[in-house]
Structures are given as structure tokens and as C-alpha cells.
Structure 1
Amino acid sequence: MFEKLQRIRAEVERNGKRLEEDQKKYDDSLARLKAEEATTVLGVVEIMKLTPEKAAELLGYREEPKTSASKSKKKDTSEKKSVSEEAIDDQNATNVGMEDILNESY
């Protein structure tokens, strides 16, 4: 009477082991991908002979001035949202330029 339950439990256990193995493989693949992406970006920066400052400028990175805790609490959320949207727009524009650079280098 309980044979079907036992079969299903055994199947669940087998599939659980496979899931763990596949999760490990996925995590390893993801780590290798991130490492290769970093290596590729560094290679492009090296080919173009960019300094870290120039690369940050091309990518649209801006250091935010440090503010005191009291000032940051007084800012309303609408201002933060507009700054974030502006940063996203700048980043999207920069990404298009970087795609061109990457395509030219290969």
C-alpha cells in the first residue's frame, strides 16, 4: 500500500541530490563568467591605455560628495529618484559607447 509513497520519496531524494549538484555547477559557471567578464573589461582598458580615472569618466562614474547624516535625512525621496533616473540615463548612454569600443577591439 505504501510502495508508491516510497518510490516517490526515493525519487524526491534522487532529484534533491541532482539539484544540489546542478546548483554547485551553476554557481561555478557563474563565478567563471564573472571572472572572464572582469578579465575582458581589463583587457579593453589596457588596449585603450586608459587610466582608472579616464575609464571611470567614460563609464559615467561620479563620486558622490559625502554629506553629513543630518543633511541626508532632510532630503526628500523625489530628489533621490530624479538623481537615480538621471544616473541611469547617463549609464545607458555610456553603455552604448562602450559597446562600440568593445566591438571595434574584436
Structure 2
Amino acid sequence: MFERLNRFRAERERILPKYEEYKRKLEDVDARIHEEEVTEILGIVNRVEMTPEQLAEFLGVKDDDKKPVPKSKKAEASKDTKAEKEAGDRSKDDTTESLSAEKENKYTEDVLNEIF
């Protein structure tokens, strides 16, 4: 009467050790992937000659929370920056510094995109 149920349970018992072994292997591979990603990111940062502080600033990471700024907040910040430029609040020196920083950020972004 419960032949199919017993067969399924027996199959489960046969598969379970393999599942646990593969689960451990998967976790090991995931850890190695993470380590390699970290190594690659550090290599990229070294190639563009950025300091960790510059990278954090570029990515919008604050010291207190160690999380990137959400894209929506970046969009709001860029809108504010555009409004300031239109209003003429910045002097020419500030604009020149901003343009060179934008070029550096664009170069860094291009390098990161090239790798990924």
C-alpha cells in the first residue's frame, strides 16, 4: 500500500549524503570565488592608483555605515549639482576641479567596467 512512499523515502536517504557533500563543495567554491573577486578588485584599485579612501568616496561609501549610497540618492545629488551649476554658484576654479575629478571618476569607472 505504501510502496511508492517507501521507495521515495529510500531514494531520499540514498541522495541525502551526496546532497550534503555537494552543498559543502558549493560553499567552498563560493568562498574561493569571493576571495578571487576581492583580489581582482584590489588589483583594479592598484592599477588606477586609488587609495581605499578615494575608492570609498567614488563608490559613495560613508565611514559610519560602510554601505554604498543608493542610486536614488546619487540621482538626487546629481540633480542638486546640476541646479547649482545652472545657478552659477560655483567659481571657475571649482568647476575646473570638478571636471578633473569627473574625468578621473570616468576613467576609474571605465576600468572597472572593462574588468567586469
Range into which the TM-score falls when normalised by the shorter chain: 0.5 to 0.7
CA shift, 1:88, in A, is 0.6
Which protein is bigger by CA-based radius of gyration? 2
Question: What's the RMSD between the two structures over aligned residues?
Answer: 3.2
Q: Which amino acid aligns with 1:41?
A: I
What do the CA deviations read for 1:2-48 (whole angstroms, capped 9, x no partner)? 66554333211111112101111110111011111100100001111
1:103 matched to which residue of 2?
A: 113
1:12 and 1:39 map into 2 onto residues whose CA distance is: 40
Query: What are structure 2's unaligned runs of at least 5 residues?
Result: 79-105
1:43 matched to which residue of 2?
A: 43
Percentage of matched positions with identical amino acids: 42
Q: Which amino acid aligns with 1:22?
A: Y
2:114 and 2:30 map into 1 onto residues whose CA distance is: 26
Please report the TM-score for the alignment, with normalisation by the length of structure 1: 0.59
2:25 matched to which residue of 1?
A: 25
Distance 1:99 1:51, change over 3 A: closer
Q: Which amino acid aligns with 1:16?
A: L
How many matched pairs? 82
- Establish whether residue 88 from structure 1 lines up as the match of residue 88 from structure 2: no
Distance 1:11 1:60, change over 3 A: same
- Establish whether residue 60 from structure 1 lines up as the match of residue 60 from structure 2: yes
1:26 and 1:10 map into 2 onto residues whose CA distance is: 25
Query: What are structure 1's unaligned runs of at least 5 residues?
Result: 66-83
